[in-house]
Structure 1
Amino acid sequence: MINVLKSLVLCGFIGLLSQAHASERSDLAWQSVEQQHAILIDVRSEGEFSQGHLSNAQNIPHTVIAQQITAITKDKSQPIVVYCRSGNRSGYALQVLQAMGYQQVVNGGGLKEMLASKSH
């Protein structure tokens, strides 16, 4: 019983840590947008994007980010913020863009956490 309680407490603590991390990444993303005029890219599908997105965001699904990023910017030093639903697809997009030489890419995480962070 005590081991079960310890596990539950540990899981709760880890959950709090991941929430803090999520908040930090979205705060960093907004700083990049506001201070460095980063381009906002929503890497969700067109259908998800049409159901709601951040103002000024452009839609490039993560599956075609490598092929379509140059239509938005060819400048490898241009700050870019990518986001999706949970942060997984935007993490993939970040890795692709970095592999292509883009130097200032931030994973903002999910749309909900970006919206929550913006309202602080």
Structure 2
Amino acid sequence: MPFFWVGGFGGGILSALLAGATLVTEARPFPENTLRLLEAERVTMFRGWPDQAEALARHPSSVDVDLSALQPGRLQALLPPERRAQPGARARLFGMTEAFGPYCGYRADTDMPPTAWGSCG
């Protein structure tokens, strides 16, 4: 997500600084290069849109890379099927620029109670 967007700034740069994490970026994201970068850097969390994760999962080289460092979260298309959540069990992040990013959500690696499945958190 671009850093000049509030999602990229707040959810990318600020969250990495707050957590003491390493933020891995690339100048031009192409699926094969991104997959190799995720593998080489042992990335644990991939931030982006679901269609980006699905494009990476569909890429032919996705079967040849070791993505075992990735933890369960929002972009599950990159995870092996046995590590994915049930559809609707994980909340979507909800926010807006005027509120400086996300203001409603749920832990990305935790299923919500079944009565809340399909909600924003």
| Structure whose residues are more often helix by fraction | 1
Tell which has more relative contact order, 1 or 2 (C-alpha 8 A, sep 6+). Answer: 1
TM over 0.5: no
Q: Which structure is larger by alpha-carbon Rg, 1 or 2?
A: 1
| Structure whose residues are more often strand by fraction | 1
The bucket for the TM-score relative to the shorter chain is 0.3 to 0.5
TM-score by length of 2: 0.34
